[in-house]
C-alpha cells in the first residue's frame, strides 16, 4: 500500500464496465471533503487513478490500501496442530498491511471491504482504523444485506461481486467489478454497531439496493 497507489494494486479502470448507484453516504462525505482543507484520505480497494485525481484536485492527500487481495494470500493461514482447524495470523496481517508509519487520517473510505475479509480480521481492522484516525474524522462503510427489503431473499452473485468504488462529483458512485473474490459474510445493523464500538457515533442511510451505508465518526 502507499501514497498514490503502491501496493494497492493496478488501476481498476482498464477494461471492466462500470455501473452507477446513488449514494447518500457519498453525498455526505463529499460535503465533508469540500468543506475542509488539506485532509488526509485513506481509500480502500485497487488503485484508482480517477480517485487519486479527484481527491488531490480538492487539495487533499490520498493513501491507498487493498486489504481484500492481501488477506487472500495463503501466507497468513496458520496450520492447526493436534487436530485444530487452521487459523488466520491476524497480528502478522495487521503489522504488514495496516502499519501507516505514523500517518494519521481524517477520512477513511472503507467501502464494503469488511464483507470480504476473514472474520477474525473484521474487528481488529476497525479498531486499527480508529487508532489511526483523527478525532472527528469520518469513515464511510458499506455492508451487503442478507435479506434486502423489497428485492430478493438473498443478494445475487452479481450484487455481491467484489468491486472498485470510483468517486464522482455527483450523488452517485461508479462500481467496477474487479477480480473474483467472494463475499464472506453479511452483517446486521447491530453487528455493524458492534464493529465500530470504539467510535463516537454513526449514521445509517437507507438504500433501495442490497447495500447499506453507514457514516462513522471517530
Q: What is the pLDDT of residues 173-189, one digit of tens each?
A: 999 998 778 899 999 99
Average pLDDT, the chain: 88
pLDDT tens digits for 70-79? 999 999 999 8
pLDDT band at 8 (very low <50, low <70, confident <90, very high): very low
Containing structural domain, residue 40: 2-217
The radius of gyration of the chain's CA atoms, rounded to the nearest angstrom, is 17
Write down the pTM of the prediction.
0.88
CATH number at residue 189: 3.40.50
Total domain count for the chain? Answer: 1
Stretch 124-135: mean pLDDT, rounded?
Answer: 97
pLDDT band at 208 (very low <50, low <70, confident <90, very high): confident
Interatomic CA distance for residues 196 and 208, integer angstroms: 24
Kindly state the DSSP code that residue 171 receives in the 8-state scheme. S
Q: How many residues does the chain have?
A: 218
pLDDT tens digits for 54-69? 999 999 999 999 999 9
Residue 143 near residue 214 (C-beta atoms within 8 A)? yes
Amino acid at each position: 500500500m502507499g501514497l498514490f497507489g503502491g501496493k494497492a494494486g493496478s488501476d481498476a479502470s482498464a477494461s471492466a464496465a462500470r455501473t452507477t448507484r446513488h449514494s447518500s453516504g457519498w453525498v455526505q462525505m463529499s460535503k465533508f471533503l469540500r468543506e475542509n482543507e488539506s485532509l488526509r484520505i485513506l481509500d480502500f480497494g485497487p488503485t484508482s487513478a480517477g480517485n487519486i485525481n479527484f481527491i488531490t484536485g480538492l487539495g487533499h492527500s490520498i493513501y491507498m490500501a487493498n486489504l481484500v487481495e492481501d488477506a487472500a494470500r495463503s501466507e497468513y493461514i496458520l496450520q492447526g496442530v493436534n487436530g485444530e482447524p487452521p487459523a488466520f495470523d491476524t497480528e502478522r496481517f495487521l503489522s504488514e498491511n495496516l502499519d501507516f508509519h505514523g500517518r494519521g487520517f481524517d477520512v477513511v473510505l472503507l467501502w464494503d471491504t469488511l464483507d470480504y475479509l476473514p472474520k477474525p480480521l473484521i474487528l481488529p481492522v476497525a479498531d486499527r482504523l480508529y487508532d489511526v484516525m483523527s478525532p472527528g474524522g469520518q469513515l464511510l462503510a458499506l455492508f451487503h444485506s442478507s435479506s434486502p427489503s423489497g428485492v430478493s431473499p438473498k443478494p445475487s452473485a452479481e450484487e455481491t461481486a467484489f468491486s472498485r468504488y470510483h468517486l464522482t462529483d455527483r450523488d452517485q458512485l461508479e462500481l467496477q467489478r474487479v477480480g473474483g473474490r467472494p463475499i464472506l459474510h453479511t452483517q446486521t445493523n447491530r453487528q455493524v454497531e458492534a464493529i465500530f464500538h470504539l467510535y463516537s457515533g454513526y449514521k445509517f442511510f437507507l438504500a433501495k439496493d442490497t447495500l447499506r451505508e453507514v457514516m462513522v465518526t471517530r
